[in-house]
Amino acid sequence: MAIERTFSIIKPDATKRNLTGKIVAKFEDAGLRIVASKRIRMSKEQAEGFYAVHSERPFFGELVEFMMSEPVVVQVLEGENAIAKNREVMGATNPAEAAEGTIRKEFALSIGENSVHGSDAPETAAEEIKFFFADEEIVG
């Protein structure tokens, strides 16, 4: 399996509760390396653009407001099979369905306030990394 890069967001519910370090530790313990990281406050344009694929969903407005409500930490994670590995460490979207030991099982508050985002495929990973990072901000 090749070395991949994936995109991650530590979401407002997690930064607000001071869980950034505990979540980063989960990534590192799974063998994912943090090759880019910055704490930002998302603009409305960024939140709407990033989640444009969900713009027709009933929860879209709520999702955009949530992503703007507190700072987030955007990161690029690198490692063997990083996209799937990150999704595994994150757990299911709905924390009630997330496996033991996953980030969402341990930390998520609800299906909306679910602590982390992670890319779901190589194409979305590449797009999402570009959405937030310039090439020179990623140091492998």
Active-site residues, by number, are 117
Query: Is residue 120 part of the contact set for ligand DAT (CB under 6 A)?
Result: yes
CA distances from 105 to 36, 67, 132 (A): 25, 20, 27
Query: Is residue 117 part of the contact set for ligand DAT (CB under 6 A)?
Result: yes
Find the binding residues for ligand DAT in span 53-82 (CB under 6 A). 54, 59, 63
Please select the residue that binds ligand DAT; options are 41, 44, 93, 122, rule is CB under 6 A.
93
Residue 130 tokens read as 């570009």
Query: What is the torsion angle, in degrees rounded to the nearest 10, for the CA atoms of residue 79, residue 31, residue 21 and residue 74?
Result: 10
How many Å from the N-terminal Cα to the C-terminal Cα in the chain? 18
Q: Return the number of the residue (59 or 131) whose C-beta is nearest ligand DAT.
A: 59
Smallest gap from residue 134 Cβ to ligand DAT (A): 24
Residues paired with 77 in a beta bridge: 6, 34
Q: What is the contact surface with ligand DAT in residues (CB under 6 A)?
A: 54, 59, 63, 93, 111-112, 114, 117, 120
